[in-house]
Structure 1
Amino acid sequence: MELDFTFFAFAIPAVLFAGISKGGFGSGAAFAATPFLALILTPGQAVGLMLPLLMLMDLGALKAFWKKWNWHCAKLLVIGSLPGLALGGLLFGIADPDVFKFLIGFVAVGFVAYQVALATGVLRIAQEEVPDWGGYLAGFVAGFTSFISHAGGPPAAVYLLSQKLGKTEFQATTVIAFWAINALKFPPYVALGMVGKETVLATVLLAPVAFLGVYLGVVGHHKLSDKWFFRLTYVFLLITGGKLIWESMT
């Protein structure tokens, strides 16, 4: 990983975008930074770089949404994530890097397909509250996709939306749940060599961008519609995800 002009030209907008999502839009679009960075870095470098930055964003967002979360829902997601994180760590340790480039791209494109299916009525979120096992299942999927590409937001959102939480309670619950999940990911990331000295230096340099993004997201949460933010996310993910899939197969 070379901290040159090209690196920062990609990293600064990616981190800013992730911070805005983390701070005010349910974290669902934060993982868009990973496929974008994977265009110039290896999959391991991309996810390794984003983890400490996401952890800083989590801390910034925790202050803004302190104790506004639904603790029961958050607890189910975190406990359920443990086997998913273990599976993600196992696969990351043995699979070819192109496999993860494909998976990151697939998750990105799949996220867009999921949102289109919701918008067109092809897929509907459960109208009745999902029982506790649904929270554990969502946590398992969130743990796995979070380990692979920091994409735990969508499966967690499916469960949380079924619980009919208010806008702020939903946001706060994602913040506390992924604060814990990201903290759990850190030791295996270090063990797998995905977080090193260059990652720490890049984190220090990009930390102001991360906190600025969170601040803008918190402001946006209270003042702005998320409609256009997520439309931009979908286009962004479709392009970068498609490119990663193409690269992994060729």
Structure 2
Amino acid sequence: MTDSFFFFFAVIAATLFAGLSKGGFAGVGMVSTPILALVMPPVQAASVMLPILLIQDAYSVVSYRRTVDRRNLAILLPGAVLGIALGYSLASYLPQAAVALAIGVISVGFSLLGLRGRTVARSKRPAKVAPGMFWGALSGFTSMIAHAGTPPFQIYVMPQRLERDLFVGTSVVFFAVVNWMKVLPYTLLGQFSAETLKLSFLLAPLALFSTWLGIRLVRRTDTERFYLIAYVLLGLVGLSLGWDGLKGLFFA
């Protein structure tokens, strides 16, 4: 690690984006690990982010504990367990760029369909078991590989048109559980060190403040505008992931 201004700017920006995501603007936090990867190796960046995410999860879960869709959690979490186990098994072999490109393309396509569909009256989709298990597994897998589990979760849950706080609360609890599931695999893979843990906990106050700020902003946003923002963020994240995948596969 380094003492440069750019290094501190990167870690502060990454923490702020993660907090806004945990506060309810799901998706924006996915830029956190890539930002850190500008100033440290990607594996080290992921290991710094996980304790920060756990701290932010605790605050978010307390804030949204009364607005959770238990049926969605019951469907998604078993799939996430399988996805995390698969991600752990393939962590050393799978080209992360290919995963990023695939998720990026799917996310952009879904975002465009969602934004187009806002002008058409549509019925809400129910929470179905088979699709939920699939998207839950994909969310757990991509979260384990690159802290990129948000797009699969959104692709499954957003068409249900849950109320704003119910959507956010379900997302918060789902990823809090997923992140705790990742602690053991990350430990077994040797991704934590005294240096990364020290940096994570030095950033804890900023992590809590940014999560509080995200919650305040979300609660000032009505449901329709919230979904518009969510679809736009999903598309932007998809473009970012897709570009990262293309660079890794063809320009590395």
TM-score with structure 2 setting the length: 0.84
Task: Say which of 104, 115, 118 aligns to 2:114.
Answer: 118
TM superposition shift of 1:43 = 2.5
TM superposition shift of 1:103 = 3.7
Task: Say which of 137, 140, 143 aligns to 1:140.
Answer: 137
Uncovered stretches (5+) of structure 1, i.e. residues with no partner = none
- Could you list the per-position Cα deviations for residues 49-103 of structure 1 after superposition, in whole angstroms to 9, with x for gaps in the alignment? 11111111100101111232012211221111011101111121334xxx32554
- Could you list the per-position Cα deviations for residues 24-59 of structure 1 after superposition, in whole angstroms to 9, with x for gaps in the alignment? 22x332212122222333221222211111111100
Whole-Å Cα distance in 2 between the matches of residues 33 and 235 of structure 1?
14
Uncovered stretches (5+) of structure 2, i.e. residues with no partner = none
Whole-Å Cα distance in 1 between the matches of residues 43 and 106 of structure 2?
21
SS in 2 for 1:40: coil
- What is the correspondence of 1:175-186 to structure 2 with a 5 Å cutoff? 175-186=172-183
SS in 2 for 1:94: coil
TM-score with structure 1 setting the length: 0.84
TM superposition shift of 1:205 = 1.4
* Inter-CA distance 54–73: structure 2 relative to 1 (3 Å threshold): same
* Inter-CA distance 11–204: structure 2 relative to 1 (3 Å threshold): same
8 Å CA contact 1:22, 1:30 repeated in 2: yes
* Inter-CA distance 164–105: structure 2 relative to 1 (3 Å threshold): closer
Is 1:87 the counterpart of 2:78 in the alignment?
A: no
SS in 2 for 1:128: coil
Identity of aligned residues (%): 31
Whole-Å Cα distance in 2 between the matches of residues 237 and 128 of structure 1?
23
2:11 maps to 11
TM superposition shift of 1:231 = 4.8
TM superposition shift of 1:237 = 6.5
8 Å CA contact 2:72, 2:127 repeated in 1: no
SS in 1 for 2:203: helix
Note the aligned Cα RMSD (angstroms): 2.7
2:22 maps to 22
TM superposition shift of 1:192 = 0.8
Whole-Å Cα distance in 2 between the matches of residues 231 and 141 of structure 1?
21
Task: Report the count of equivalent residues.
Answer: 244
8 Å CA contact 2:69, 2:170 repeated in 1: yes
Is 1:220 the counterpart of 2:217 in the alignment?
A: yes
Whole-Å Cα distance in 1 between the matches of residues 17 and 93 of structure 2?
31
* Inter-CA distance 243–129: structure 2 relative to 1 (3 Å threshold): closer
Whole-Å Cα distance in 2 between the matches of residues 229 and 120 of structure 1?
14
TM superposition shift of 1:204 = 1.2
- What is the correspondence of 1:1-250 to structure 2 with a 5 Å cutoff? 1-2=1-2, 4-25=4-25, 27-95=26-94, 99-101=95-97, 103-104=99-100, 107-108=103-104, 111-121=107-117, 127-224=124-221, 225-226=225-226, 231=232, 235=236, 238=239, 242=243, 245-246=246-247, 249=250, 250=252
Whole-Å Cα distance in 2 between the matches of residues 110 and 201 of structure 1?
36
Q: Which letter maps to 1:111?
A: S
TM superposition shift of 1:194 = 1.6
SS in 1 for 2:190: coil
